[in-house]
Amino acid sequence: MEHIFTLLHVVMAIINFSRTNGTFCSMQGELVYPQLSKEGDITIGAIFPFHSIWEITDLSYSVRPPPVKCMSLDFRAFQFSQTLIYAIEEINNSSSLLPGVSLGYKIYDTCSSTAMGVRAVMALVNGNENLDLNEPCTKPTEVQAMIGETYSAVSMAIANSIGPLSVPIISHYSTCECLSDKRKYPSFLRTIPSDYFQSRALAEMVKHFGWTWVGAIRRDDDYGNSGMAAFTEAASELGICLEYSLPFFRTYSQEKVLRIIQQIKSSTSRVIIGFLDTWDLEMLVHVFFEHNITGYQWVGTEAWIFDPELAKLDRFNILQGAIGMAISETTVTGLQDFILDVQPLKSAGNAAFTEFWEAMFQCTFTIENDYRNTTICTGKEKLSEVENTFTDMSLMPIFSNVYKGVYAVAHALHHLLGCTKTCPTKKQPDPFTFLEHLKRVHFKTKEGEEVYFDANGDPAAKYEIINWQTTKEHQYEFIAVGLYDSSFPPNDRLAVNLNSIVWAQNSNQMPRSVCSESCPSGTRKAVQKGKPICCFDCIPCAEGEISNTTDSIECEQCNQDYWSNTRRDECVKKEIEFLSYEETMGILLTVVSIIGALTTIIIAIIFFKYKDTPIVKANNSELSFLLLFSLTLCFLCSLTFIGQPSEWSCVLRHTMFGIIFVLCISCVLGKTIVVLMAFRATLPGSNAMKWFGPPQQRLSVLSLTLIQVLICVIWLATSPPFPFKNLKRYKEKIILECHLGSNVGFWAVLGYIGLLALFCFILAFLARKLPDNFNEAKFITFSMLIFCAVWITFIPAYVSSPGKFTVAVEIFAILASSFGLLFCIFLPKCYIIILKPEKNTKKQMMGKVAVK
């Protein structure tokens, strides 16, 4: 409704401006007179809401807007007026500021109405209080600047109305962020911080307390809507969600109010942000009590958080523990005594003073018919015996804002008029020129407080954080529990003493207000479908991912050498796996390898000791010793597979294994061929042994081994084995292994060994039924059978074995095949040499041949 009146009156004012010589006239209708006034060389205007409630008498819009009815005198406006008068009197009595120039004032009533505010400002601009639209306006602008208004909605209307004239308006209490827009309100300034700063300060404070799920009730006008929009934007940046944001105005119907109550009752948040004023909350606390809505933590703006009258009205403790932002506490020396001295009011306006006095002492100067029920004012009542809003000085910071606004005008005039010891002129400056000087004013008050305006006409934002606490006498008191200064770095702006705060329901425990509890370390937030970002589920991080802070949005992937711990809150070094000498398997294989090598050496010693015996001579002692030497190397070769892989060990283990095994198989093959040739040599007319004598045996062994050496050289030259971190087989650990480099090279080495072993097995199998005296074929056959069986089973076991077991399988194959050759070929001979020496004779050997 207010917006309709404002728009209509502004349009009418603009029409009037176009009909005149460039000055505004007041609206046609009721006469508009100043409540308080005093003549001076230069006049400062002021508009304050002397009446706080109005009634619309007619809602018809077929004619011009109907008049409003002002009701319920507000003593705060008289306090503001006294402050303005005090500042002007102090300036007029000063010899250093505007010497020789007297300031006057005209103070108008807006009735808290935008319509009346526009009417008052029209009268202030040109002093034509009773002119109507048909009478031309010829007077220049009467006032140099205006102080006011209290409410943002009214300030917006009047600033919009006189913006084209560049007449400055300095508000002491209008905080709407929208008024910082200099394109719409070029002549508006203020001595109270913008809601832009307050909204951000409130959002930072709410975040500081850990409340991410809050509700809000806003005054349904420009102040509430703009302030809540700024708060919502700041809250969103800080991760705070609004469960609801409900508009409210004191003229709302009961049905609308009940809808608000139901919304709050059904909500889960426990914190309510109140972008309201005192009169709105006066109604709400009653409604909340009627519907048993208690225990909520209220967060308030400077519009009500520091108001003692509201505290007195809250008899049901609905707002107990409220916390919010208030203008930093300040004092103006001598102002309190001046406000309580009502003589300036009496001399400035008899009509206003009469109404003030009657309301102050609940009496009347007019004798009515029913005088028996009316107290007659004597004019000698004592103000010291009264305790009400007028005598309450808790809004001294706001009074100081009025004081600073007047002084800002005076300092701008002082500089513009070129005053030194005296002012050379008393002529009122051009409004536009004066406005430009006023924007750049910078001075200190007598208390040392700096006053200046930024590019948007706003002062620096400093707030005290106020907490409503209850005394033992069940009276509210306002305790400063922190500070907020927008001029500080972002992390240092807010300072709060949590230990001194008393929360809702007189509790020392900070309330919780979240949609979802914080996600602990090791989890991440997943927003619930269709709900705000503050409502989420906590999803455990996947393997290999961590979150080490609460409420992580996503999990971080660990570095490839690290893995997440069981709690998923820390990346730990992955377990490194390789077959080491310290573990049981490594120790066991090492022991077996050494035992095998020692056994082979012992057998070699036995053979060397009995090298002249028939059984040693009959079995080709030279190849036997070479075979024993190669078997010893085979056993020792397996040790290169144990321990952490390195470049040399990876190269050595595969090439050494390949060459030594070929040497071993070549010796066995040579022994097999010798057996076959020896049998052929016993046949009449055969000279087979001369074709495969000792030189040929050595050459065959050397040739077959050199082929394997050549294969290994080609392998190493093209793509040699190298140490490798296998990260794919196991996610939680690293397998250190030797990468084959070239798979073709590795399988060529194994293939060549297998080819020789197969050939040897075939020859031994063919010679298995030769006479025992000259025959090792049966034992070689059996040893080759074991060798082939081991390596055939090795291939699938090698491919499928995980991690260090791959190496263990390879070592086992080497040891098993080596032991097979050692025991099958040499153990029977050692048995005869050691335990059956009577059989180790040439006669026994030849006898057996004769029998066969």
Q: Residues, the chain, total?
A: 852
Tokens of 20: 């005149």
Query: According to the model, what pLDDT value does residue 156 have?
Result: 92
Give the DSSP letter string of 276-339.
Answer: --HHHHHHHHHHHHHTT----EEEE-TTTTT-HHHHHH-TT-TTTT-EEEEEPP---TTHHHHH
**Amino acid 226: pLDDT:** 87
Q: Dmax over Cα atoms in the chain, in whole Å?
A: 170
Gap between the Cα atoms of 95 and 422, Å rounded: 8
Residues of the chain with pLDDT under 50: 1-31, 55-61, 129-133, 136-137, 685, 774, 848-852
- C-alpha pair distances (Å), 179 with each of 163, 190, 302, 453, 744: 12, 9, 17, 13, 81
One-character DSSP codes across 521-536: TTEEEEEPTTS-TTSE
What is the three-class DSSP state of 146? strand
User: For residue 234, how far is the Cα from the chain centroid?
Assistant: 14
- Bridge partners of 103, per DSSP, are 42
Instruction: Decide if 171 contacts 441 (C-beta within 8 A).
Output: no
Q: How far is CA 289 from CA 256, 278, 324, in A?
A: 17, 17, 22
Per-position DSSP letters for 543-606, written without gaps between them: TTEE--STT-SSPEEPPTTEEE-TTSS-EEEPEEE---SSSHHHHHHHHHHHHHHHHHHHHHHH
Predicted local confidence at residue 371, as pLDDT = 52
Predicted confidence at residue 35, as pLDDT, reads 83
Alpha-carbon gap, residue 812 to 641, rounded angstroms = 11
Closest Cα partner for 428 from 40, 715, 169? 40
> Is the distance from CB of 534 to CB of 580 less than 8 angstroms?
no
| CB 353, CB 346: distance < 8 Å | yes
Give the pairing of strands 42-48 and 103-109: parallel
pLDDT on residue 372:
58
Which positions ≥6 away from 342 have C-beta within 8 Å? 353, 356, 357, 383
Q: Report the 10 Å Cβ neighbour count for 567.
A: 14
d(CA 566, CA 587): 31
According to the model, what pLDDT value does residue 370 have?
Answer: 53
User: Which long-range contacts link 179-187 to residues 24+ away (Cβ below 8 Å)?
Assistant: 179/152, 179/155, 179/457, 180/456, 180/457, 180/458, 181/456, 182/455, 182/456, 182/457, 184/159, 184/160, 185/156, 185/159, 185/160, 186/435, 187/159, 187/162, 187/163, 187/435
Q: What pLDDT is attached to residue 58? A: 46
Q: Which of 351, 299, 354, 340 is nearest to 321 (CA)?
A: 299
Domains of the chain, first to last: 2-192+395-452 (3.40.50.2300), 196-301+307-331+462-506 (3.40.50.2300), 347-390 (no CATH), 523-573 (no CATH), 584-851 (1.20.1070.10)
Look up tokens 């005198």; give the residue.
Answer: 73
Report helix, strand or coil for 488. Answer: coil
Q: Tell me what pLDDT residue 776 has.
A: 65
Backbone angles phi, psi at 332, to 5 degrees: -125, 115
| pLDDT at 464 (0 to 100) | 92
Q: Whole-angstrom Cα distance, residue 772 to residue 615?
A: 11
